Chains A and B, each alone.
Chain A
């Protein structure tokens, strides 16, 4: 069982990701939600998290800055970017900042299983 943190400014997308994790048959214990990078960092400070799924394009603090600060604070959990941003440069920047990979929206539960199965 694992605790997953979903960081996305869309509450609809957070619900879809949470539902898709279970539809994909991934073993998820608790799902924590954050609406931007700042809330994401706060969640990391108060909860034990085994996997982070983060959007890039968010208000207040975007996903790239969130990844940088999470790593700077010692977060060791895998971070996957779930984003509409499919460009190689921006995904490369996310990975250089400490992300482990990316999943492009829209996605299917099977695609989540394929990308996340080895991390949970």
Chain B
């Protein structure tokens, strides 16, 4: 599993460069908005499509490239993230958690957009979409993807980017 070679060539990037942008952006977003210092791990070799007791925030990229930036985290971590973002205790997955995960995906999508589109006009970000549940499957992170695991205390979460070039 790796990012689309044509996209990377067109953007004059190596896959490691894009992974580093995502890692730096994720650490910046978590540190600045949630006061949470997260640790990154090596990108996954195999796709992850099935999630349990999790929340997924996604934002689409469309234009010169087509893709999805996604953030997948366990519900317990999603509650912690949302509590830190809002500065108040959140104890159930609902509108606040969905909104927070969507906004994180939006901020990370903005970073990716800036890397791929310096001017910003040839690539559009969609409005975020959020999925949560006991068990669900997402196929968007199966091919042409990089998935980076992060860890906060004992909880792990994933940030994935799937992107293809439009001809």
Contact = CB atoms under 8 A, between A and B. Distances in A.
Contact of A88 (B29, B103, B107, B118): B118
Given A10-B102, A13-B103, A105-B110, A84 B125 contact: yes
B55 to A, nearest CB: 13
B121 A87 contact: yes
Contacts of B107: 84, 105-106
B106 A84 contact: yes
A117 interface: no
A2 interface: no
Contacts, number: 72
Contacts of A84: 106-107, 109-111, 113, 125
A12 B33 CA distance: 11
B117 interface: yes
Given A10-B128, A87-B120, A91-B120, 9 more contacts: A9-B127, A10-B102, A15-B86, A16-B33, A57-B125, A84-B106, A85-B120, A106-B33, A107-B32
A58 B85 contact: no
Interface in B79-98: 82, 85-87, 95-96
Nearest to B111: A84
Interface in A81-120: 83-91, 93, 105-108
A106 B121 contact: no
Nearest to B32: A106
Given A16-B85, A58-B127, A87 B32 contact: no
Classify chain A: how many residues form its interface, as a range: 20 to 34
Contact of B86 (A12, A83, A91): A12
Nearest to A8: B103
B117 to A, nearest CB: 6
A19 interface: yes
A107 B110 CA distance: 13
A59 B28 CA distance: 26
Nearest to B106: A84
A86 B127 contact: no
B144 interface: no
B114 interface: yes
A106 B35 CA distance: 12
Contacts of A73: none
A88 B113 CA distance: 12
B110 A11 contact: no
Contacts of A57: 106, 125, 127
A19 B86 CA distance: 9
A108 B120 contact: no
A23 B141 CA distance: 38
